[in-house]
């Protein structure tokens, strides 16, 4: 852990040094303004590191102090992306200018002998030229980064979008046609998402009048005791046949045993490598839930054999698994539908492409190893209160019989 912290701090320092070079040193010739810029970038680094190190340990009344650090994280990300993207155009522009400014050698055929002998400065090494190009790049990167971060904050705190889909299911009895599942995930209740947002989510879920509410992990970012008041609205969440929950990776980071006890107090029926029969309209489905794969690091791994084997094959099974990648282990058991979260839909474009390297489905529907998977974007956010290209959502799935 100590080595990881050292590496993380060193990486953060290098990234901020790069920002200082491109945003400060390369854009001004004034020593005074360079010192001011260095102080600003250094201050941002200190705030960022402090937020990462102690933000979640602050008393509840002081957690808003983490906001600048998390906002800077998003702003820094988009600054880096834009500056890296602009490196090539700036380099090309400098080389083109330098090529055009190359002097014509004497005797090369110029009409005026004086011109043939006139040296021309290499503009690739022209301080004024470099200053103009770097200032243009810095202004462009800054404008895009501020614009995307501001836009993303408005999306992160907006009410989750309600998505509705009909899901055809071959083994679903006709008598159970129309069974409704509300899917909620990734609330990440913590320093920057409190009781007001949780109450709004509960109101949305209750307004869907679902038969089953499936909470697919990562309800908290902080230890349950630190956000107890913010979690209390969950006790009012209702599903006709119950509100069910499985662990996400963040529950293990804050203490899975403490969290599962807290979940029971919040009237969330915890499925820990188990399944329950949901009787509806004279028919039934199996609702199963496995521990998140992170549990393997805490002697509490997912157990697909225990959860899915030996069941009645005449009725469908819907599996709750926090991470979409769990489908590779679940598919051999004939799962009819897997419900997952974890990805946040990428949360901040273009992170969705990186998430796609690890998870088989990033957002919405997909089919993996012959198993349908639905991945919600989640109702909250992790880290920066910013969402770009992946609005928060809560989903209502209506199961339809095609047998």
Per-residue tens of pLDDT for the chain, all 403 residues: 567 778 888 999 999 999 999 999 999 988 999 999 999 999 999 988 888 777 666 665 666 678 888 999 999 999 999 999 998 888 787 777 666 655 555 555 445 554 454 444 444 455 677 788 889 999 999 999 999 999 999 999 999 999 999 999 999 999 999 999 999 999 998 878 888 899 999 999 999 999 999 999 999 887 777 778 888 999 999 999 999 999 999 899 888 788 888 888 899 999 999 999 999 888 899 999 999 999 999 999 999 999 999 898 999 999 999 999 999 999 999 999 999 999 999 999 999 999 999 999 999 999 999 999 999 999 999 989 999 999 999 999 999 998 6
SS3 state at 290: coil
SS3 state at 214: strand
Location of structure tokens 């509410």: 213
- For the chain, percent helix, then strand, then coil, each to nearest 5? 50, 15, 30
Count CA atoms within 13 Å of residue 245 on its CB side: 28
Determine the distance from the C-alpha atom of residue 244 to the mean position of all C-alpha atoms in its chain, rounded to a whole number.
23
161 φ/ψ sector (left φ>0, alpha ψ -120 to 50, else beta)? beta
Residue 333: C-alpha distances to residues 213, 307, 313, 319, 361 (Å): 23, 10, 10, 11, 19
| Topology of the domain comprising 162-401 | Purple Acid Phosphatase; chain A, domain 2 (3.60.21)
The whole-angstrom separation of Cα 180 and Cα 399 is 6
Those residues whose C-beta lies under 8 Å from the C-beta of residue 63, and which sit 6 or more positions away, are 55, 56, 190, 191, 192
- Say if CB 28 and CB 154 are below 8 A apart: no
The whole-angstrom separation of Cα 270 and Cα 53 is 31
Q: What is Dmax (Cα atoms) for the chain?
A: 101
The whole-angstrom separation of Cα 287 and Cα 274 is 9
What is the C-alpha radius of gyration for the chain, rounded to an integer number of angstroms?
27
> What is the pLDDT, as a whole number, of residue 194?
80
Parse the chain into domains and list their residue ranges.
Answer: 2-155, 162-401
Neighbours of 371 (CB within 10 A): 20
Give the pair of three-digit tokens for residue 265: 């107090």
Residue 172 exposed, middle or buried by CB count within 10 Å (0-12, 13-18, 19+): buried
Those residues whose C-beta lies under 8 Å from the C-beta of residue 364, and which sit 6 or more positions away, are 374, 375
SS3 state at 242: coil
Residue 149: C-alpha distances to residues 80, 86, 377 (Å): 13, 19, 18
Give the pair of three-digit tokens for residue 66: 């983490």
Neighbours of 179 (CB within 10 A): 28
> What is the pLDDT, as a whole number, of residue 77?
95
């Amino acid at each position: 852990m100590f080595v990881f912290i050292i590496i993380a701090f060193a990486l953060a320092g290098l990234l901020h040094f790069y920002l200082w070079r491109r945003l400060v040193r390369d854009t001004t010739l004034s020593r005074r303004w360079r010192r001011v810029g260095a102080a600003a970038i250094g201050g941002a680094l200190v705030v960022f590191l402090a937020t990462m190190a102690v933000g979640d340990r602050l008393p509840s009344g002081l957690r808003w102090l983490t906001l600048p650090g998390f906002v800077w994280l998003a702003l820094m990300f988009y600054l880096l992306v834009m500056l890296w993207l602009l490196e090539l155009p700036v380099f090309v522009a400098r080389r083109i200018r330098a090529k055009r400014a190359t002097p014509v050698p004497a005797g090369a055929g110029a009409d005026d002998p004086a011109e043939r002998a006139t040296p021309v400065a290499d503009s690739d090494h022209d301080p004024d030229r470099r200053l103009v190009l770097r200032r243009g790049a810095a202004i462009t990167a800054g404008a895009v980064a501020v614009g995307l971060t501001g836009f993303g904050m408005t999306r992160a705190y907006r009410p989750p979008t309600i998505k509705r889909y009909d899901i055809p299911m071959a083994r679903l009895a006709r008598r159970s046609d129309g069974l409704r599942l509300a899917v909620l995930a990734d609330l990440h209740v913590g320093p920057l998402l409190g009781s007001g947002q949780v109450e709004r989510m509960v109101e949305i879920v209750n307004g869907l009048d679902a038969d089953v509410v499936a909470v697919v992990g990562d309800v908290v970012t902080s230890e349950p005791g630190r956000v107890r008041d913010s979690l209390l609205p969950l006790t009012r969440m209702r599903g006709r046949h119950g509100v069910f929950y499985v662990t996400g990776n963040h529950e293990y980071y804050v203490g899975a045993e403490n969290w599962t006890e807290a979940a029971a107090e919040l009237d969330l029926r915890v499925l820990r490598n188990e399944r329950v029969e949901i009787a509806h309209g004279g028919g039934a489905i199996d609702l199963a839930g496995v521990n998140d794969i992170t549990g393997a690091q805490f002697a509490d791994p997912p157990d697909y054999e225990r959860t899915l084997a030996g069941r009645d094959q005449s009725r469908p099974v819907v599996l709750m698994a926090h991470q979409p990648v769990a489908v590779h282990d679940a598919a051999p058991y004939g799962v009819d539908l897997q419900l997952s979260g974890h990805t946040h839909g990428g949360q901040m474009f273009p992170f969705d492409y990186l998430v796609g390297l690890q998870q088989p489905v990033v957002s919405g529907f997909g089919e993996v190893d012959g198993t349908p998977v639905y991945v919600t974007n989640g109702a909250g956010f992790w880290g920066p209160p910013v969402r770009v290209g992946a609005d928060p959502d809560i989903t209502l799935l209506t199961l339809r019989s095609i047998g």
